[in-house]
């Protein structure tokens, strides 16, 4: 039975801010090498052809060596510089549709957090930072153990990415 009652779900989210040893420019280059842009044209072609899910999974495996792909990218520095701000910051939507699918199967609202929002920026005291909300804290809010389990798996994948970026892996991603 469907109800038309507004649902409010309070939940706690952990934002992880990880210092990176590389310069901003190098960190962005490394991230974009490790997390390539999704091959959306090929993905849409396969979908329009009615390809099997296995073909979609294979494309993701070929495209994403660390299991994440970029779905969107925005460099905010040029626009914000017009207001006099000199920060360097690029934001991304990063994820993997084959990882999201087992959660989507249970609740399509998980797409609020899949793909994940990430940013690389230069901090107020210098230094390059990578930031992201901890996936398991986002997906746990759905109250479904199957969705929460995928969120924990994404935590571990995120830890491997942070390690490959040259950052210290937060303890929250190891447990």
Domain boundaries, the chain: 15-37+68-169
Task: Just give the CATH number of 15-37+68-169.
Answer: 3.30.310.70
User: Is 1 a residue whose pLDDT tops 60?
Assistant: no
User: Is 44 a residue whose pLDDT tops 60?
Assistant: yes
Residue 54's pLDDT band (cuts 50, 70, 90)? very high
CB atoms closer than 10 angstroms to residue 124: 8
Quote the pLDDT of residue 154. 98
Quote the pLDDT of residue 3. 77
Residue 145's pLDDT band (cuts 50, 70, 90)? very high
**Predicted model pTM:** 0.93
CA distances from 34 to 92, 107, 121 (A): 13, 29, 17
- What are the φ and ψ backbone dihedral angles of 82, each rounded to 5 degrees? -65, -20
User: Is 166 a residue whose pLDDT tops 80?
Assistant: yes
User: Is 81 a residue whose pLDDT tops 90?
Assistant: yes
Strands 15-20 and 128-133 come out as antiparallel
User: Is 6 a residue whose pLDDT tops 60?
Assistant: yes
Return the percentage of the chain with pLDDT > 70, whole number.
98
Q: H/E element holding 119? A: strand 116-122
Quote the pLDDT of residue 174. 87
Instruction: Tell me if 99 sits within 8 A of 67, measured CB to CB.
Output: yes
> What number is the average pLDDT over the span 41-64?
93
């Amino acid at each position: 039975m469907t109800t038309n009652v507004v649902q409010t779900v309070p939940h706690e989210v952990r934002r992880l801010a990880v210092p990176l040893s590389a310069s901003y420019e190098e960190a962005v280059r490394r991230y974009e090498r490790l997390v390539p842009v999704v091959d959306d044209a090929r993905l849409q072609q396969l979908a329009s052809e009615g390809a099997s899910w296995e073909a979609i999974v294979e494309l993701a495996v070929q495209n994403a060596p660390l299991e994440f792909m970029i779905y969107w990218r925005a460099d905010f520095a040029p626009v914000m510089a017009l207001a006099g701000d000199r920060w360097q910051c690029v934001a991304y939507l990063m994820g993997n549709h084959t990882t999201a699918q087992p959660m989507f199967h249970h609740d399509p609202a998980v797409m609020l957090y899949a793909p994940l929002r990430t940013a690389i920026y230069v901090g107020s005291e210098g230094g390059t930072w990578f930031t992201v909300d901890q996936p398991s804290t986002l997906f746990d809010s759905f109250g479904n153990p199957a969705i929460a389990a995928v969120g924990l798996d994404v935590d571990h994948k995120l830890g491997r990415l942070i390690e490959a970026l040259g950052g210290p892996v937060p303890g929250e991603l190891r447990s």
